[in-house]
Amino acid sequence: MKPSTTSTDRATAPSSDLPSVDEIRAAQDRFIEFWGEMGTRWGVQRSVAEVHALLFIAGEPLSAEEIMERLSISRGSVSTTLKQLDEWELVQRVRSKDRADRREYHQAEQDVWKLFYTILRARKRREFDPLIEELGGCRVAQKSSRKTDRQKQHDQKIDELLELCRFFDGLANTISKSGKGIERASKILARVLGSSR
């Protein structure tokens, strides 16, 4: 005959429905690996993407030593990576509340919309702004106002690209003026596209 369990026993017994620490860690490792792979496709070093993924998914500040141990990377790599993430405003430095702990900790933005905008803004600054600037210099360089048909066709194509780029640049700037602008605009766009099907 099995002994009966009291409500106190059930309250203190671990629930089999809750994931174990090993399951959580395995899921985090899958996310870190996936984020690292995606980073390389976007032109970001794998180590940079993986450190950012770890800080995001951990949800709490981590020291350089903890990052080194978790990802099995060198101190130099961690230091360089954190500096880059800090420059991109994807990670902030924080101090421990324990005054005896002099280590510096690092924390990633946890709000996914703020994270999305920060990445968008960084990529716009590094890639999109120079694109607009360079496109302007790709028009036919000719002081005379008279151009051949081929020159006009060339300039027309460049102007159309510039117009398109400036439209999206202005759209991104308008949306980002409000902290919740991207989130609101995305939800409205999703409703519009959803209703048009």
Give the residue, 53 or 166, on which the prediction is more confident.
Answer: 53
Burial of 1 (0-12, 13-18, 19+ CB in 10 A): exposed
Reported pTM = 0.67
CATH class of 19-108: mainly alpha
94: which strand partners?
105
For residues 154, 134, 84, 86, the Cα torsion angle rounded to the nearest 10 degrees is: -110
**If you average pLDDT over residues 33-37, what whole number do you get?**
94
* Confidence tier at 10 by pLDDT (50, 70, 90): very low
Would you state the pLDDT for residue 175? 65
Say which DSSP state 146 is in.
-
Q: Is the pLDDT of residue 73 over 50?
A: yes
For the ranges 70-74, 101-105, 147-151, the one whose mean pLDDT is highest:
70-74
Please tell me the least confidently modeled range out of 40-49, 117-126, 132-141. 117-126
- Cα separation, 160 vs 50, whole angstroms: 38
Question: What is the DSSP secondary-structure string of 4-28?
Answer: PPPHHHHHHSPPTTSPPHHHHHHHH
Which whole-number Å values give the CA distances from 118 to 115, 127, 131, in the listed order? Answer: 5, 14, 19
* Helix or strand run (H / E) with residue 53: helix 46-58
155 and 181 in contact (C-beta within 8 Å)?
Answer: no
| More confident position, 155 or 126 | 155
Domain segments of the chain as ranges: 19-108, 112-195
